[in-house]
Amino acid sequence: MVLGVPEPGGLPGVGVGDGAAGAGGPHGPLPEDARMTWSQIGAALRARAVPLSALALLGWALVAWRVGARADVVAPALLLGLLGPALTVVDVAHQRLPDRLVLPGAALVTVAGAVGALVRGDASALWRSLAAGGVLLAGFAVLALLAPGGGFGLGDVKCALLVGPVLGWAGWPAVAHGVLAAFLAAGVVAAVLLAAGIRGRALPFGPFLFAGTALALALNGPPTP
C-alpha cells in the first residue's frame, strides 16, 4: 500500500501489485503492473546496505531483549527481524512489497513457529499465531476490497501472513497494538506532511507495518508460559 498525501481537494491513492506504485524513492516507483525481479530487489538492498544492516541489528537486539530463548517465538521473530528491514528499504525505494520476499518469508515464519511450538508442547500458541495471521489477512483483504485501486495494496494484504503469526505468538494484545500503531504512525506522518504543505507525495505503508510490529513486541513480549 502507498498512502498518497493528496493534492488540494484530492483523495489519497494507492496502486495495486506486489505492493503499490507511487511517487518517491531514489530509484522511483515501478509501473503498477510490474513485478520485482531478484535483480531489482538485490539492487535496492545493496544501495541501502548501511540502513538495512542497522535496522536488522536493531530488530535482532529487540528479539534478544523481549523474546529471549523462547523456542516458539525466537526463530519467527529473528526471521521477521531480517525480512522486515529488507522489505522496508525495498518499499521505500520502489513502493513494492515483493512476493519473492513476502510469501517465502511468511511460510518460513509459520513453519519455524510451528516447530518451536511442538518443541515446547504448546499447541495453543501455534493455533493463536495461525488465527492471528488469518484475522489480519481477512481484515486487510476487506480494506483492499472496500477501495479497489485506491485503498489498500495487495502487498500489504499478503504481509498479514508475515507479521500476523509473529504478533499472534506474543498474544492478542500484541496483534491489536501492532496494527493500531502502524495506522496511527502512518496517519501522523501524513498529517505532518500536509501541515508542512507537502502534497501529492506517496507514503509506503510497509515501513509503518513493520515498525508497529516491532513496537508491539517491545511492549508485550512473549506470553507467560
Residue 176's pLDDT band, with cuts at 50, 70 and 90, is: very high
Residue 24: pLDDT above 60? no
> Is residue 129 left, alpha or beta, with left meaning phi > 0 and alpha meaning psi from -120 to 50?
alpha
Q: Of all residues in the chain, what percent carry a pLDDT higher than 90?
A: 23
In a domain, 28, yes or no: no
Does any domain span residue 127? Answer: yes
pLDDT at 38 over 90: no
- What single letter denotes the amino acid at residue 55? L
pLDDT digits (tens, 9 = 90+) for 102-111: 999 999 988 8
Number of domains in the chain: 1
Q: What does 100-144 look like in DSSP terms, one character per residue?
A: HHHHHHHHHHHHHHHHHHHHHT-HHHHHHHHHHHHHHHHHHHHHH
- Domain membership of residue 161 (yes or no) is yes
Q: Using an 8 Å Cβ cutoff, are 63 and 88 in contact? A: no
In a domain, 10, yes or no: no
Does 6 map to a domain? no
Mean pLDDT confidence for 31-49: 73
Q: CB neighbours (10 Å) of residue 10?
A: 11
In the chain, the amino acid numbered 21 is A
Residues 6+ apart with CB under 8 A from 103: 158, 161
63, part of any domain: yes
- Helix (H) or strand (E) holding 185, with range, is helix 172-195
> Rg of the chain over CA atoms, in angstroms?
17
Rounded to 5°, angle at Cα 130 from 175 and 216: 20
Query: pTM for this structure?
Result: 0.77
Range of the domain at 171: 15-23+35-220
User: Residue holding cell 516507483?
Assistant: 29
* DSSP SS3 for 2: strand
Answer yes or no: is pLDDT of 14 > 50: no
CA distance 150 to 54: 33
Report yes or no: 31 and 164 within 8 Å, Cβ to Cβ: no
Residue 182, domain member (yes or no): yes
Query: In DSSP terms, which residues pair with 203 in a beta bridge?
Result: 3
User: Cβ neighbours of residue 44 under 8 Å, at least 6 residues apart?
Assistant: 27, 89, 90, 93, 94
> Is there a domain that residue 88 lies in?
yes
pLDDT in tens, 79-95: 888 888 889 888 888 88
The per-residue DSSP string of 39-75 comes to: HHHHHHHHHTHHHHHHHHHHHHHHHHHHTTT-HHHHH
